[in-house]
Structure formats: structure tokens, C-alpha cells
Amino acid sequence: MFTKILIANRGEIACRVAATARRLGVRTVAVYSDADAQARHVRACDEAVRVGSNAPRDSYLVMHRIIEAAQATGAQAVHPGYGFLSENEVFARACAAAGLVFVGPPPEAIAAMGSKSAAKSLMAQAGVPLVPGYHGGNNEPAFLAAQAAQIGYPVLIKASAGGGGKGMRRVDRASDFIAALAACQREALNSFGDQHVLVERYVRRPRHIEIQVFGDAHGHCIHLFERDCSVQRRHQKVLEEAPAPGISAERRAEMGAAAVAAARAVGYVGAGTVEFIAEPADDGGNSSDNSDSSDSSDLRFYFMEMNTRLQVEHPVTEAITGLDLVEWQLRVAAGEPLPLRQDQLTMRGHAIEARICAENPDANFLPATGTLHIARWPQHVAFERSDALPRVDSGVREGDAISPHYDSMIAKLVVWGEDRAQALARLATALAGTHIMGLATNVAFLRRVVASRAFASADLDTALIEREHAALFEVPPLAAAWAAAGVAAHRLAAEAALQDADPWSRRDGWRLHGGAQRRLDLVAEGEPAQPTLHATLTRLHDGATRLQIDGQSWPLMTQLLGDARFDVQLGDDRRTLAVYAHGDRYAVFAPQGSALLARFDPIAHAGDSAQEAGRLTAPMPGKVVSFLVRAGDRVQRGQALAVMEAMKMEHTISAPHDGVIEELLYGVGDQVPEGGALLRLGAVDAAVSAAAAP
């Protein structure tokens, strides 16, 4: 075993690798950018080396600096984590040339699976079933459009060198193909340095099922069962679970055998994942398939790609097998044989992972940036399997900032149960106990997904979120009365903590000859269309309190339970609320939902609508990729106006109403701060009047 390794990554995966290394007695070296100088992964390692400025291309992707850091610190091996350089054959070869062990597969295996097109040709030779499509090297737009027409719409365009949903578009009509192709190629070039794509038949009602494989340098190769990653948004995973619901033992064995065959075809060593797209066997589809398993009673499956690294969702496999996959990686990289044979592997129970991300589900999952003013988790263990407690893998702490330089994931919340029903119940409880304040997150959305009929009944496919849109998005927030009661409870507790024995110094509104009233004017954060909540908190003669909202009044009793938790009784109803305050903002969490509130200041809000009229602003910090209009152009509501790149993804800015472009305020390639006005959009009538004026 190694005595020291360098972890060529950041965030939760760097912390994850460091935790296993520490347990094995292996010292660790972190690398960091300027933005990550105080990051959690830096503190988790024994040593740390700066490798550049904020952007990944200037730090985590600079190969020679990482190799120099490993050599300077005496590291014997480099663990690449996932993302960044983890699937870069050039980096793997550079490590070997520098006398360092690359904790991953041989460069030849990375190269073979690095191109989706080349990998599918290789899989066809190995007898692994493929989705019908074009996987060749001709990327001329007219040629690919002809291939798409021959395949039949809808089709899926996919970046040949990438993953994670980047450089991927579904196209339903021939008229949309060229524009979608250009967007995919541009995003693929920006993300992976390679704009080549492939085109495939879009599988209807697809499930995304992947097999964890492991090989060693002694010729052994096994699989560690499957994971279902079907619940996705923007082609990126949201919830992952193991084992996949509804998979027969026969199908599991067939998929496992196909995955091992794929790994053996490239001489695979280390941890990898063979990803399959699957569809119901009784789904006629829109073309014939070449699967030799089409007679199965449950699913047909097709090879999609192989990720030559550890996956984000590896904890669910660890939970059902009781194994530490990072430990296996280190042992195999050190030349040891696999610890277990295929017939020695067993799985127990069910595990589900939820990705907690900084994003706004109501704005098409637009990534969010900001500071984690509050980041509280349910009672948990970190980076370890536990049958009783949820596991939280995270690379950030309360007070850290989520920046636009890296992806938006805050943490992974993993639960285990004896069966899927128990795991679902534990996940629902764990999500309810996850309290984050300071920026938009998907926690409330995940709670609705987990509670939805489709997910609870394992009616899974990659369009689940779209299918269940009404149930997942059109949900009212925590009732206004309980949101106000939570704020009132926090205010009363804060005032009680400040009071002195001298009644004249109390700050709770006490009066010598009577009670007192105070207004709580609140507005829902991020929901400007919501009316202001006007609540009145009344302290009576006997010290009792009442809360009044819109003419309704209830007795209010509160008790601080500790750690921001309150026992609150509103009328005859009683609940436990968690309430946090930061400045003039409040976050109220209850088992029934949550609310983010701010004190409403009518003076500060005066004129907001006039200032924002006609301005289209950047929803987050990013770079202008292209403008799709020019000054003077007339546009229609919903028309795409500009494309921005942030957090490794492209985001399209569309016209909120019909109008005329008055001015473009930035140039292509410019960095734009959050809220920066990209362009000015005037009314059509105003433009016509101006043109007609003498």
C-alpha cells in the first residue's frame, strides 16, 4: 500500500478519498485554486499545494502543476477523483512518465472508452447491445441531419467525449436539428475540448441503469451489481438508488455479464461504470433494435457509455455491499488482487442518494451562487456506511460560498434501509431535517419527488420530472400563518435572551399599564409576485401573545427547544419548527414544508419595477457565449436572445415579452456579474412611435 497520495480534485470527492486514506494510514496531499484556499478538502488533507487561480483551466486542469506538486511532496500515487482529469489519458500517461501511479485504469482503456463513438464500435464487436444510431466520425451538419432523418425522430445528440448531460440535446423535429447540433458542439468543445457528437434514436420511457465494475492487474474482473439513475433534470442525475427497482435476477445477471464483457474488451483495471439505457420489453419503440435479449419479460437494455472512473453515486453501492470502493481503488492501484471474487459478493437492503444542489428548480434548475449562511444536516455520519443514520458526503461547511467556478453540488445525502420502503421513509425524514439558508437549493423539490406517486411506486424513467410536473412544481409553500408564527417565535426568543432583570431595560415590548403590538411585514424570498404578509404580534397584559393575519387571530405559545428548534402552538395546532435568521431574512422549516422570508421595507422596494423595466439581466455570474439578436431587431415573447455559460452549463436568456432590441450592453466572451443587464428591450409601440417622429 502507498504511504502518501495526492488527490487531484476538490470538494466532496477529495474529502471522500482523504477519509479512506486516513483510515488506511495513508497520508494525503490536497491541491487547491485561489478560490479554494480555505476549502474543506484542503483542511481534510495532511498537506496542500496551490496550483493556480480560480478557473479550472488555470488550476485543476493544469497537468504539469499537479504532477510537480506530487513530486515535490513525495506522493507515490495520484487519485483523480471524478471530473477534471479523471478520464484524461494524457494525464494518466504523464503520471506514469513522472514515476507516479495513476489511481485509475490504463491510458489505453481511457482512450478506448473516452470517445463514445469509438467505444460503441468496440462494444458492437464484443457483442454488447447498442442503441440504433450513427457513431462514426463524420460531423458535417448536413450529413448528421441526414442520419437523424434516417434514424427517425425523436433523436438524441450527444457529445462523443463527454458526460454529465453536457453537450446533449433531444431533438423532436428536423427543423430544430441544426440549431441543436450547434449548441451541443459548442458546449462539448467548452466542456471537453472536443466538439464531436453522435446521433442515436431517442429511447422512449428510458431508464438509466449502470453497473459498477472492478478489474485488477491480475486478470480478474467483476461487477458489484447495478444502480438506477433514472431521475434526472437537464440530463443530469438527481436521485440514484441500488439495487434498481423491478429488475429480475435474470436481467441483473445479463447486464452484469455484459458490463464485465465491456470492461474485459479494453483490459480494464480499477473502478469503472458501464452505463446502459433500458426500456420496457413490451414498448414497441420506433425502430428495430439489435439486442439479443429482446425476449426478456422486463427490460431491453443497450450500452450507452463507460465512465472510466469512480462515480458520484458510488455510496449507494457501498451501502448495499458493505464495501469501501475507494479502498479497493487504492489496493488495486498498488498491485493487489481484487479482495473478493464474483461469487463472494452479496447485496443487502436498499440505498438511495439525493444530490443536494445550489439551484432553482422553478427556473429550469438554474444553478445558484451564494454563501451557506446556514447548513444543518440531520444526525449523520460522514463518508461511511451506516444502517441507522444517513450519510452526508460534502465538500463545504456552513459559512462557505458556492462560486460560479465549479459545479453546483453542495452535498450527497445517502440513506439505507432493509427494503426500498424503509429507505424511502428514511430519505423523506433526512430531507426534512436538511436546513440550508443563503441561496436557492433543490431540497424542497427533492422532498416532493420522493413523496410523488411515480417515485414511491418505482414508476421510473428519465422523463419522470417532466411527467410529474404538476405535482412537483405547483405546490404551495408552508402556510403563511405558520411561516409568520416561526418568525414570531424567533423574535420572541431573541428578545427574551436580551432582557435584563430590570423591567425598564426589556426589549420585548413590555409596558407598565398594558400590552403592546408589533407589525411583522414579511415577503417570500424569490417570489416577488407573492403579496406582502402583514402580521401583528400582540403581547397581552398577562404576558400571553396572539398572532393576527388578514383579520384572523390565534393564541400563540412558543418554547425554545435548543439549536434553533421551537415548540410552537398556534391556536389548537402544535408543531415543531426550526427557524434561522440572517440579518433581516428568516428561514422556517417544518415537516410540512419550508419558507424563506425577508422583512419587507416599502422604502427600499419603491421604484424596483421602474428600474428593472426593459432590462434583461444575468441570472448568475457567467460568460456571454453568444448574442442571437442585434440592436434594432424585433423579437417575440419567448424568443432566445443570448446564451450564457456558467457552472459548466449553457443557459439561454429569452424575451419576456414582444419588443425591440435597443442596445446590447456586453460583448461575446465578456464576464457578467449576477444581475448585470445584458441588453435593453423596448416596447414595440415605443419603437414604432420613435421611428415615425419627424
Catalytic residues: 309
Compute the distance between CA of residue 329 and CA of residue 271 in angstroms, rounded to an integer: 6
Tell me if 89 sits within 8 A of 111, measured CB to CB: yes
Residues 6+ apart with CB under 8 A from 389: 378, 379, 380, 381
Q: How many CB atoms lie within 10 A of CB 283?
A: 13
For residue 611, give Cα distances in angstroms to 181, 661, 693: 38, 17, 26
Nearest to 509 by CA among 529, 484, 534, 538: 538
What's the grid cell of residue 126?
464484443
Compute the distance between CA of residue 83 and CA of residue 165 in angstroms, rounded to an integer: 13
Nearest to 275 by CA among 415, 113, 383, 82: 113
Nearest to 228 by CA among 218, 220, 236, 239: 239
350-357 and 409-417: which strand pairing?
A: antiparallel
Compute the distance between CA of residue 98 and CA of residue 74 in angstroms, rounded to an integer: 12
First-to-last alpha carbon distance for the chain, in angstroms, is 84
The answer, yes or no, to whether the previous bond of 404 is cis (omega within 30 of 0) is no
Tell me if 488 sits within 8 A of 480, measured CB to CB: no
Query: What secondary structure letter does DSSP report for 381?
Result: B
Q: What are phi and psi of 668, to 5 degrees?
A: -60, 130
Q: Phi/psi zone of residue 55: left (φ > 0), alpha (ψ -120 to 50 degrees), beta?
A: beta
Compute the distance between CA of residue 398 and CA of residue 447 in angstroms, rounded to an integer: 22
Residues 6+ apart with CB under 8 A from 120: 130, 135, 198, 303
Burial of 457 (0-12, 13-18, 19+ CB in 10 A): exposed
